[in-house]
Chain A
Amino acid sequence: MTDHVPDLFTDGVPSRGGVDRPAETDRPPPPRVWTVRQVNRASRLLLEESLPRLWVGGEVTNFRRQRSGHCYFTLKDEAAQLRCVMFRREASRLPADPGEGMKLRVFGGLTLYEARGVFQLIVSKLETEREGGMWKLAFDRLRARLDAEGLTDPGRKRRLPAFPATVGIVTSPTGAALRDIVAVIARRAPWLRVLVRGTRVQGVGAGDEIAAAVSALAEVRGVDVIIVARGGGSIEDLWGFNEEAVARAVALSPVPVVSGVGHETDVTICDLVADLRAATPSAAAETVAPDRQWVGKRLDGLSRRLGRGLAGQVRSRRWWLDQLGDSLFRRGRRRVQASRDRMDAAGLRMAAAARSRIRREAGRLSEAAAALDALSPLSTLARGYSVPLDHDGRLLRRAEDFPRGRGFRLRVVDGYVPCAVTGRPLSAAIRAAEQTTGDDRDQ
């Protein structure tokens, strides 16, 4: 498009160099008339040449991201406003759009948009005065959203398999992180199968690649756990791991995911959503690979327990037998005891019977003794009787046993008395006979 200047204004229009033409008449020269375009062009050049690129601080308002990718906003303070534009190339590196009213500092050059005569700042860098900057802002926003959805909830974290068979790894195929991980697994658990899905781990689009790699590995049969890893770097380098796509892929993975991104101090969105966050790629490998020695000890333990288990089975049988034997023995002993008890009881009864019998017998004995005593001649003697005995101790009972002149002994209660018959003994029969004779004679 060439400059089109109406005839009316042809005179007095400054040439491109701005050199005045000499006046041809004495009429006052018509005013020099600039085209709008010329004015805007001149102003733009003046602005761009006289003011260096600079940092401007202010509050953002009306931030709009066009479909084209360009961003427009106004920076203002209490007294003034400045229109700003951030073109797609720069805007695409912006991790987050600033919020209304946010204090920003932007770096750029002043210019004039000739087509509309608008004075504006072309922004190449945009920073917030908040701590952590726009990265932090983007991080915090995404985190808040994921928190609200529960994707960072500790309750969602799954336990890692204690003895995985296949480990999936998402990282750069040529990076140090992969070498570190492989070295750790080779040392600790070389029986594992390691399946790598290589991706870019930084730059625009890295997040989508990482997310796709997680999903692809999760689909593979036999993969028990996935490590997402990257070595250290700036927050910008690590940005791929802070992207929403990665968070979604990790959250959706049917197998547990361990995140080992950056160094100890770097925390990424991927770390927060993962089932386990390891400080470094090597640490991630250690959480996944059981240590060979530990597994060996575990096997030793199981081996011992297996042996003990079998021994226990045998022992429990023996125990059972012992129990059976014991119970038989106890039963037998009980029977013996019962017999013994019965015998004891009988013995006691017998003894009691014997004692009472003895008592009874003793009573009878003493009665008998008393009776015997009563019959004893001694008691008769004690009553005053005495007993005549010949020299041989024979009892002399009848009158005819006492012929005249016979010596005999008289047993009295306390001794013997020597005696002799001095008269003619007279027996009752003799006396009776003599009485009969006497009667006869008397008659």
Chain B
Amino acid sequence: MTNDVGLDARLKRIEEIVASLDSDTLDLDEALALFEEGVAHLGHARQMLSRTELRVEELIGSEGDTGDMRVADDGGEGEAGDG
């Protein structure tokens, strides 16, 4: 699995690995390989978690095109505006 794998898929894979290590009788080599794969996923997941900037995009038109969107973090209009 590469870097653009989602957190969900990574966590699921780690769960699988843990389950396998917990219950199956594996070759020691196999067990080590699984362990290393799990550790790599954990590393990527932690890296993902350390991101600080939220990416906000806007869906434009009907072709699924997107563009970056700036959302003001405070504004003149409150809830009384257009919501």
Q: Which of A173, A191, A303, A305 contacts B48 (CB 8 A)?
A: A191
Pair B71/A179 contact, Cβ less than 8 Å: yes
Chain B nearest CB: distance from A256 CB in Å? Answer: 13
User: Given the complex, which residues of B lie within 8 Å of A305, measured CB to CB?
Assistant: 18, 22
> B60 → chain A, closest Cβ, in Å?
9
CB < 8 Å neighbour of A179 from B18, B55, B64, B75 = B75
Contact between A194 and B35 (Cβ–Cβ < 8 Å)? no
User: Which residues of B have CB within 8 Å of A316?
Assistant: 25
Contact in complex: A196, B22 (CB < 8 Å): no
Q: Is the CB of B18 within 8 A of A162?
A: no
With known contacts A195-B66, A292-B49, A173–B58 Cβ distance under 8 A: yes
Q: Which residues of chain B have C-beta atoms less than 8 A from A430's C-beta?
A: none
Residue of A nearest to B22 (CB): A309
Q: A306 touching B38 by the CB < 8 A rule?
A: yes
- CB pair B14–A302 under 8 Å, yes or no, is yes
Q: A193-B55, A303-B42, A309-B21 are in contact. Are A175 and B11 (CB under 8 A)?
A: no
Q: Which of B46, B51, B80, B83 contacts A190 (CB 8 A)?
A: B51
**B22 partner, pick from A175, A220, A221, A312, beta carbons under 8 A:** A312
Q: Is A198 part of the contact surface with B, judged by Cβ < 8 Å?
A: yes
Q: B28's contact among A168, A174, A314, by CB below 8 Å, is which? A: A314
Q: Which residues from B are CB-within-8-Å of A237?
A: 83
Residue of B nearest to A190 (CB): B54
- Any chain B CB within 8 A of the CB of A200? yes
**Cβ contact of A175, chosen from B18, B31, B48, B77, cutoff 8 A:** B77
Instruction: Tell me the count of chain B residues lying within 8 A, CB to CB, of chain A.
Output: 49
Binary interface encoding of chain A residues 195-220 relative to chain B, with 1 for a CB under 8 A from any of its CBs, else 0: 11110111000000000000011011
Measured between alpha carbons, how far is A306 from B46 in the docked complex, in Å? 15
Contact A230 B35 (CB under 8 A): no
Give min CB distance, B52 to chain A, whole Å.
6
Residues of B contacting A: mostly: mixed
Q: A176 and B78 in contact (CB under 8 A), knowing A162-B8, A306-B39?
A: yes
Report yes or no: A196 in contact with B42, Cβ–Cβ below 8 A: no
Instruction: Report yes or no: B59 in contact with A172, Cβ–Cβ below 8 A.
Output: no
- With the chains together, A186 CA to B80 CA distance in Å? 24
State the CA gap A164–B18 with chains docked (Å). Answer: 22
CB of B18 within 8 A of CB of A202, answer no
Question: Which residues of chain B are near A202, meaning CB under 8 Å?
Answer: 82-83
Given contacts A176-B77, A176-B78, A296-B49, contact A196 B21 (CB under 8 A): no
The answer to whether A313 touches B38 (Cβ under 8 A) is: no
Q: Is residue A298 within 8 Å, beta carbon to beta carbon, of the partner chain?
A: yes
User: Smallest Cβ distance from B3 to chain A, in angstroms?
Assistant: 12
Instruction: Digitize A298-321: 1 where CB-to-B-CB distance is under 8 Å, 0 elsewhere.
Output: 110011011011101110110000
Interface flag for A389 (CB, 8 Å):
no
Could you tell me if A192 and B54 are in contact, using CB atoms closer than 8 angstroms?
Answer: yes
Quick one: which of B34-80 are within 8 Å of A by CB?
35, 38-39, 42, 45-46, 48-49, 51-59, 62, 64, 66, 69, 71-75, 77-80
Residues of B contacting A306 with CB < 8 Å? 14, 17-18, 21, 35, 38-39, 42
Which residue on chain A has the smallest CB distance to residue B18?
A305
Cβ contacts under 8 Å, A192 to chain B? 54-55
CB < 8 Å: which of A185, A196, A200, A310 contacts B69?
Answer: A196
Is A385 located at the chain interface by the 8 A CB criterion? Answer: no
Judge whether A345 is part of the interface by a CB distance below 8 angstroms: no
Q: Is the CB of B56 within 8 A of A231?
A: no
Across the interface, do A196 and B56 meet the contact criterion of CB distance under 8 Å? yes
A283: chain B residues within 8 A (beta carbon): none
B24 nearest CB across to chain A (Å):
9
A231-B49 CB under 8 A given contacts A163-B7, A306-B38, A313-B26:
no
Chain B residues with CB under 8 Å of chain A are: 6-8, 11, 14-15, 17-18, 20-22, 25-26, 28, 31-32, 35, 38-39, 42, 45-46, 48-49, 51-59, 62, 64, 66, 69, 71-75, 77-83
> Can you spell out 16 A-B residue pairs with CB atoms less than 8 angstroms apart?
A164-B8, A172-B83, A182-B56, A195-B59, A220-B59, A220-B64, A229-B83, A230-B83, A295-B49, A296-B46, A298-B11, A299-B45, A299-B46, A302-B11, A313-B28, A314-B28
